[in-house]
A and B are shown apart, each in its own frame.
Chain A
Amino acid sequence: MSLVNMIQQLLAGMGASLAIFVLTLLFSLPLGLIIAFGRMSKSKPIVFVSNIYISIMRGTPLMLQLLVVYFGPYYLFGMRLSSEYRFYATIIGFSINYAAYFAEIYRSGIQSIPIGQYEAAKVLGYTKPQTFWRIIFPQMAKRVLPPVTNEVITLVKDTSLAFVLAYAEMFTIAKQIAAAQTTIVPLFVAGIFYYLFNLVVAVLMEQLEKRLNYYQ
């Protein structure tokens, strides 16, 4: 297999990795906010459930969670799922795991906003949703951007865990080529691709941070 051919195959796998990455962020970023609300809720049962959820998601391996999401429906309910479920299971597994981490980041961000901001909003007559979306959320978003960037960069590399479900993302393909050709070159090239991917992510996040620096 020529180098060009290998790179072509890896790039195709990179497309799949990118799909996992984008879809996971699309679902986990908002889901994290809902879980953060749950964690800060006034209702004790909701807080309890949220805490258990975060505890399990952070306390067990993501690889195991992916396997549970993929095989769970069959072993628990005897459901026969189509082969497309492989992809859905990957997205669901990543999303529910990352949402737990984002929830804790959001919570720390929300709780770092001074109480005076809430009081000023209340006296000015803002409703609770208005207070959150107009006053608290924009300030929280700025504060949590550095830790969120950390998670996003980790996610780029974590997409390689989809190999446990034999989902054909970049790392799975690299391993297959490496095994067939008995060479580590494809793994090495894949490593370079992950690095370049993250370089782009880091630059984009830095730009976003700069853009939010219009106020102190």
Chain B
Amino acid sequence: MKLLEISQLKKNYHSLEVLHDISISVNEGEVVAIIGPSGSGKSTLLRCATMLEKVSAGEISYMGKQAVSTDEAGKAVYAENLQLKEIQNYFGLVFQNFNLFPHYSVLKNIVDAPISVQKRNKKEAMQQAKQLLEKMGLEDKGNAYPSQLSGGQQQRVAIARALALNPQILFFDEPTSALDPELTGEILKVIRQLAKERMTMVIVTHEMAFAKEVADRVIFMDGGYIVEQGTPQEVFENPKMDRTKQFLARFSS
């Protein structure tokens, strides 16, 4: 089943088009890695898919429910609020800079949205949060505040916070870019574990070796276009396009 379907998505900033006719679909249980140079539009694509940015044209649907469609004039039309709220539940996003709530303890960061947004039972939400913390190897950090944690620990809390809402699909926007190489490993380990559990994920990353290892499909973007996509073997070992070869040449050594 297709969890996410994006077709012919366009994004303009004033007269500048930064995403051109992007079409992507993501199947249940699939791990998609998006790679490409800075400014290629990969983060913008993620921000459009998670509705942090408005698209200019195109279609986005989650689980067959349309979030964005295009009218006859070619302009993007967003679904009504009720539908968007429901769709919002289908995905989670992990940011580059974690964006934890500094005034909440680790545990509160994780349980607050399930309790106050999804109106779930407090006890059940707490229990789930504790399980998630255990999974992240942070069972003793529930009462700590984000500023008392390392970057890697903060990012793991952010992943737990996103998972607590039970999303169907989880987006990662360069989850290790704010971390030093030693801490990067902790995060990749967690994502690897999630991949093993068949969590559907879309990961924007600069970690080529990791993308190759964990992804079922790799998308290479440049200049707002999808230049090439395929299995990691296809993209990394036999790239068809010159631009892909040129980009990957820097990592092959």
Contacts and interface: CB of A to CB of B under 8 A. Distances in A.
A122 interface: yes
B225 interface: no
Contact of B117 (A130, A214, A216): A130
Contacts of A216: 102, 145, 147
B16 interface: no
B52 A122 contact: yes
A120 interface: yes
Contacts of B101: 117, 120, 135
B147 A215 contact: yes
B89 A125 contact: yes
Interface in A196-216: 214-216
Contact of B116 (A122, A134, A215): A134
Q: How large is the interface on B (under 10, 10 to 19, 20 to 34, 35 or more residues)?
A: 20 to 34
B52 A124 contact: no
A123 interface: yes
Given A120-B95, A215-B147, A125 B118 contact: yes
Interface in B44-94: 50-52, 85, 88-89, 91-93
Contacts of A122: 51-52
A120 B99 contact: yes
A122 B116 CA distance: 13
B103 interface: yes
B226 interface: no
A120 B95 CA distance: 8
Interface string A109-153: 000001011011011111100100011001100100000000000
A214 B145 contact: yes
Nearest to B97: A116
B120 to A, nearest CB: 12
B145 A117 contact: no
B112 interface: yes
A216 B145 CA distance: 8
The 7 closest A-B pairs by CB, nearest first: A216-B147, A120-B99, A116-B99, A124-B113, A125-B117, A215-B145, A123-B93
Given A123-B92, A134-B112, A215-B146, 6 more contacts: A117-B101, A122-B51, A123-B93, A125-B113, A135-B101, A216-B145
